[in-house]
Chains A and B, each alone.
Chain A
Amino acid sequence: MLELKNVSYSVGDKQILKNIDLEISDRFVAITGPNGSGKSTLAKLVAGIIQPTEGRIYFDGKDITDMSVTDRAKSGISFAFQQPVRFKGITVKYLISLAAGKNTSVAEACAYLSEVGLCAKDYINREVNASLSGGELKRIEIAMINARGTALSVFDEPEAGIDLWSFNNLIKVFEKMHARTHGTIMIISHQERILNIADKIVVLAGGEVVEYGEKDIVFPKLMDVRAGCRFTENN
């Protein structure tokens, strides 16, 4: 459903992504890799926030490389930011309505918020401003993606900052989302437990795909590498 063909992205002389070839159509696909490996860049390329310097991107067989952010969103791509944006004067409910593309009822908005562990009545009329913590914003961001219910949802480190909320709940949100959309959920993450629910894992390093395959094959390799690092550090 999502296909990247020979995609590269450079800023000046610096190449951030190199010749990425990926076909993504599974339920949950996790993208992982060290800091600076190009994970967020990959997500932004898919959402259309930046344009590849080389290569093409296809979504449901259609070339979307030259499509705007808006048109990609309309064609069924959602993107949850790593650092959610604040809006003075716009309420949580209004933002969820904008995400859903219709005037959501209080009950609907509450359902989306409850799912991400926010007591809806405390939040529904709050402004999405600096009075909300980073963790609260993160959950609202996830609720918005849920409200959109698109065929492809890309999450950039959804677990960051929501430490008080159990991972199991986050995973349940993704499972419910899939049950509703029957689409693909792409999650950028460093978290073992998130990687562990993926059907497939993409490992990026130095702007290249160094591993892409079934979780059962890729995950143990990642754990080995991490164990090795810990072992090395301990010595």
Chain B
Amino acid sequence: MDKIQQDLLAQVAGIHEVPEGAYSLRINGNLYGKNSSEHIEIVKKEDKPGIDIFIKAGTKNESVHIPVILSQTGLKELVYNDFHIGEDCDVTIVAGCGIHNGGSETSEHSGIHSFFLSKNAKCKYIEKHYGEGDGNGKNVMNPTTYVELEEGSYLEMETAQIKGVDSTKRVTTGKVMKNATLIVREKIMTHGDQYAETEFDVELCGDGSGTHVVSRSVAKDRSKQKFISRIKGNARCSGHTECDAIIMDEATVAAVPEILAVHPEASLIHEAAIGKIAGEQLIKLMTLGLTEKEAEEEIVNGFLR
């Protein structure tokens, strides 16, 4: 691994070398290394690029790292990762994609992730997207996620795209069964001429199922964002989607909700708030001795923390 690749790895996964335990590390379109552990088996797919991750029933407090690094300009890849999480598990999956594009061609990573959570399984999924590079080639990431949550299971997804991704379209779809819960927390910052679109489409199928989707975003310069959220309540369920965005400069943000209750006891809420930083927030921090610019940075950093 060279210095650029190490830095990207630190940015997206918070690690500097090959992680301990179960992992799969993909660099420039190839599997750089993988390791299975006693309870977590990682198998390379034969028919297409990607891996299957099998987590044995009852696995507790274990984690899997599956970062992807692209440092070769113009590389385009499509990867399939399937997570099969056994009954009563309690695990953490750390994914992430870092692109360093030093050339003039577009680099693109599209990850198609499928999560199958068995009965009463619990999983936390953390994903960071980051781009950099001194060339004028674009960094593109289009993650697609499909989730299937069996009875009583719980999936918490934390996704962040903080810098350097020129174009992204994130699609999350899924089905939530009886007493299962899906939590999604997304943080996005766009700058320059970037575009980010998030589409969330989930069906709450079982009684007692629930979902909570929170999107916090900051759009700077001339960047554009779109947040689409669709929740369908087919049972006695509760769904909540929330889009909270700060716009700066000439940036634009659109929030498009669609909540559909097809059961009399479905309870669905959509909230969206888009606006610039409140003047009183800036003034408050200025009365603490911060300059307007510093105050702005603190407010944005806090908002995306």
Contact = CB atoms under 8 A, between A and B. Distances in A.
B284 interface: yes
Nearest to A44: B283
Contacts of B284: 81, 84-85
A148 to B, nearest CB: 7
A88 B303 contact: yes
B48 interface: no
Interface string A86-99: 01111000100011
Given A85-B278, A85-B281, A90 B302 contact: yes
B286 interface: yes
A70 B244 contact: no
A65 B302 CA distance: 32
A49 B289 contact: no
B305 A144 contact: no
A67 to B, nearest CB: 12
A148 B305 CA distance: 24
A45 to B, nearest CB: 13
B287 interface: yes
B303 A89 contact: yes
Nearest to A89: B302
Q: Is the interface of B mostly helix, strand, loop or mixed?
A: helix
Interface string A34-72: 000000000000010100000000000000000011100
B31 to A, nearest CB: 37
B281 A49 contact: no
Interface centre among B285, B289, B290, B304 (most CB of A within 10 A): B289
Given A70-B291, A70-B292, A88 B286 contact: no
Contacts of B298: 90, 98
A79 interface: yes
A22 interface: no
A87 B299 contact: yes
B280 interface: yes
Interface in A119-174: 144, 148
Interface size class on chain B is: 20 to 34
A57 to B, nearest CB: 15
A8 interface: no
A79 B287 contact: yes
Interface centre among A70, A79, A101 (most CB of B within 10 A): A70
Contacts of B1: none
A73 interface: yes
B287 A98 contact: no
Interface centre among A49, A68, A98, A148 (most CB of B within 10 A): A98
A81 B279 CA distance: 13
Contacts of B299: 87, 90
Contact of B302 (A68, A85, A87): A87
Contact of A89 (B287, B290, B292, B305): B305
A227 B84 CA distance: 77
A73 B291 CA distance: 10
A77 B299 CA distance: 22
Given A87-B281, A88-B244, A101-B288, 16 more contacts: A47-B287, A49-B283, A73-B287, A73-B288, A77-B287, A81-B284, A85-B281, A87-B299, A88-B216, A89-B303, A89-B304, A90-B298, A90-B302, A90-B305, A94-B302, A99-B288
Smallest CB-CB A-B distances: 3 pairs: A90-B302, A89-B302, A73-B289
Interface of A: 47, 49, 68-70, 73-74, 77-79, 81, 84-85, 87-90, 94, 98-99, 101, 144, 148
5 contacts: A70-B290, A77-B287, A84-B284, A87-B299, A89-B302
